[in-house]
């Protein structure tokens, strides 16, 4: 059976931590900043760890060898 390819969009959007959890960028920072508070904007910097249920879906369907 041939090797499976990782989805190219997944490579750009997600990274794995050393313990195998999935890191992703924060949501809600693309547009509409004027309606968000400064605290919201500040707290959405950087990355966060995905919920276990969502991470399992990403790993199973889009990162076959992770």
Can you tell me the mean pLDDT for 18-44?
A: 96
Can you tell me the mean pLDDT for 10-29?
A: 96
Residues 58 and 60: their CA atoms lie apart, in Å, by 6
- The predicted structure's pLDDT at residue 64: 92
How many Cα atoms within 13 Å fall on the side-chain side of residue 51? Answer: 2
* Total-model pTM: 0.84
Stretch (H or E) spanning 42: helix 38-43
- The predicted structure's pLDDT at residue 35: 96
Can you tell me the mean pLDDT for 9-26?
A: 97
| CATH architecture for residues 8-62 | Irregular (4.10)
CB atoms near residue 57 (< 10 Å): 13
The SS3 of residue 61 is helix
Task: Give the confidence band of 66 by pLDDT, cuts at 50, 70, 90.
Answer: confident
**Domains of the chain by residue range:** 8-62
Residues 46 and 61: their CA atoms lie apart, in Å, by 25
């Amino acid at each position: 059976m041939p090797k499976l390819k990782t989805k190219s969009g997944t490579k750009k959007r997600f990274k794995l931590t050393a313990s195998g959890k999935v890191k992703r960028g924060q949501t809600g920072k693309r547009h509409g900043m004027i309606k968000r508070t400064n605290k919201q904007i500040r707290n959405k910097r950087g990355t966060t760890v995905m919920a276990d249920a969502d991470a399992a879906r990403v790993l199973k369907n889009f990162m076959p060898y992770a």
